[in-house]
Homo-oligomer: A and B are copies of this chain.
Amino acid sequence: MTRSTRQGEGTKGTRQARSDRSREQILLAALDLALEHGYQGTTMAAVSASSGLPIGSVYWHFKSKEQLFVALLEHCHKAWTELHSGPEGLRRKLHRGIAGLSGADPEQYTKEEALLKAAAVWALSRQLGGLGEDNEVRAAYLRMRVEMFKVDVERITESVPADVVERFPDLPTKLTVLSLALTDGFYVHANSDVHLELDFAEYADMAARALEGLVDDYARRAAGKGQ
C-alpha cells in the first residue's frame, strides 16, 4: 500500500491495486483449499489453478509455501481479532465454537475462524508431517494461539461472578482450557463425518450447561466457608 493515487480506473485500478488484488485472490484460494485439504494437501499448483494466476505469480507474491501460509494465518488472526472484540459469554462462546465451526450454524461460521481451528490440528507437534518442528507456519500459529488464549481468558473472566473469581483466581483459565478442548474435540468430530450426524446446537447447549454447572459449584464453595 505505498502509492494510492487512484485515478479514474473503474475496475482495474493502478498497477499496485491490481497486484494487491492478485495477492488477495491467492490468499482466498489458499484459504478454501487449506480448509478442504489441509496444509500438506494444499499444493502450490492447486493454489495457482484455483486463484487463476500462474504459479510464477504465486511465488512472486509469496516466496515459499510456508510464507504463504504464514500470511494466511495472519489474515485469519486479524479477522478473528475483529470478530472477538465485543463481549461474549461462556454459553455463546461454546455455541460459536461447536455449532459455528461445525457449520451447523452458518450464522456463526467464518472460514477464517475455521482455518485457525484447523491450524490447531496441523500444529500437533511432530504430528502429521504437516507442520514440523522448525516450520515457520507452526511458529506463527503458536504465537497467535497464545495471544488468542489470553483474549479468551479475559472475556471468560467477565462472565464469571466477581466474587467467585476472587476466591478462585485461576478458574477462568481452567474454564477457557475446557471450552477450548470441547471446541477442538467437536471440530474433530464435525470434520470426520463419522457415524450419525450430530446435532451440534444441542451439544453446544449441553456443554454450556456442564460448564455452567461447574461454575455454580465453585460459586457455592465461594459462598460457603470455602473448601
Contact = CB atoms under 8 A, between A and B. Distances in A.
Contacts of A207: 178, 181
A118 interface: yes
Interface of A is mostly: helix
A194 to B, nearest CB: 6
Given A177-B198, A178-B203, A189-B177, A38 B128 contact: yes
Given A184-B189, A210-B211, A213-B210, A40 B129 contact: yes
- For chain A, which range describes its interface: under 10, 10 to 19, 20 to 34, or 35 or more residues? 35 or more
Interface in A166-184: 174, 177-178, 180-184
A45 interface: no
Contact of A181 (B118, B125, B130, B186): B186
Given A145-B192, A177-B189, A180-B189, 15 more contacts: A36-B126, A38-B128, A38-B129, A41-B128, A41-B130, A121-B124, A126-B191, A130-B130, A142-B194, A146-B195, A174-B203, A178-B207, A181-B189, A185-B186, A209-B217
